Amino acid sequence: MLIEKHTDYYDHLKKKNCEYFSSLWLLCSELMKELPPLSDAFYLDAIKHGGANLNSESQMTSYLGYFGKFYEFLHSYPYDILPYEFFENEKINIVDYDCGMAIWTMLYKHFSILSDYTQWVNNVTLIEPSELLLKRAALHTSVFCPEASIRTVNKKLDDLTQDDIDCDDSIPTLHIFSDVLERTDFELEKLARLLNNSLKGVNYFICVQLYFGDYQKDTRVGRFASFFTREKSFGSIPLRDMGLAYGDYPVLLGTRCNYTVFTVGEDDKG
């Protein structure tokens, strides 16, 4: 497993009780005060492209310090529309695709704790082409899901095989896609076929996307979901609520956030 160890960030994180995501971003917001400043344009490019331009430990820390409050603001909307029976499962597995720093895996734990759900995370598979980001994702996951077995897959989406998708007949799997499916640097149909051939048991998909007004990209999430099911839950953060975020993040003015949730497969109870 690839994981970040023995860095300044590692030392700070191990000393901090980060049961909640808010604790993590507050820590990063303090640490970033001592780091080289980054421009608003840099942060905007980072959030548009899943952190692909983050190429140092300090930039990753600054990104969470800068956008941490925004992610905490977003977190409850998509997880709130997961079917209630998902949270009735005692155990789940997670596969986080192009996970970056595993922000939405951390937000899942943040949401479940705030909602008083007691759920054991059995296994987390983190898929990310950047080794730097993947190591930090594993570190974050080890803190937020200390009970879980963590598997790191250092690959691009087009390079995945069935062996990389870890599902279980008896344990439901949560598949997380955050700011991934609108990108055009991979074959959407190829990924959907791979997953269709790899899924076992019950699978819950949560797809969260920030939209910047590009129609061709904005329709890709719906196309992806249509490969699996006609039944899906769709939501969009109301513009009134997004307006609250614009006050803290004028760089995101005009951005929309949509989310899609759907379920695939059956357990032994049907």
DSSP of 225-269: HHTT-S--EEEE--HHHHHHHHHH-GGGTT-EEEEEEEEE---TT
- The answer to whether 230 and 194 are in contact (CB under 8 A) is no
pLDDT of residue 217: 66
- The answer to whether 119 and 86 are in contact (CB under 8 A) is no
3-class SS at 209? strand
3-class SS at 197? helix
Q: For residue 1, give both structure tokens.
A: 């497993």
Rounded to the nearest 5 degrees, what angle is found at the Cα of 177, between the Cα atoms of 171 and 183? 150
Q: How far is CA 242 from CA 70, 104, 230, in A?
A: 10, 19, 28
How far apart, in whole angstroms, are the C-alpha atoms of residue 221 and residue 202? 20
* pTM of the complete model beyond 0.85: yes
How far apart, in whole angstroms, are the C-alpha atoms of residue 80 and residue 75? 9
Identify which of 97, 162, 86, 87 has the alpha carbon closest to the alpha carbon of residue 124.
97
Cα dihedral 36, 39, 43, 46 in deg (nearest 10): -80
Q: For residue 19, give both structure tokens.
A: 């049961």
How far apart, in whole angstroms, are the C-alpha atoms of residue 228 and residue 112? 26
Quick one: 76-238+255-264 is in which CATH superfamily?
A: Vaccinia Virus protein VP39 (3.40.50.150)
pLDDT of residue 240: 86
Consecutive 10-residue averages of pLDDT for the chain (270 residues): 95 88 96 95 90 95 96 92 92 97 96 93 97 98 96 98 94 96 92 96 94 72 91 88 89 90 77
Phi and psi angles of residue 104, each rounded to the nearest 5 degrees, phi first: -80, -20
pLDDT of residue 216: 63
Stretch (H or E) spanning 23: helix 21-31
pLDDT of residue 214: 67
pLDDT of residue 33: 96
Q: How many CB atoms lie within 10 A of CB 154?
A: 15
| CATH 3.40.50.150 residue spans of the chain | 76-238+255-264
pLDDT of residue 28: 97
| Strand residue runs (E) in the chain | 91-97, 120-127, 149-153, 173-178, 203-211, 233-236, 256-264
How far apart, in whole angstroms, are the C-alpha atoms of residue 64 and residue 27? 9
DSSP 8-class letter at 88: H
Q: For residue 142, give both structure tokens.
A: 């080890």
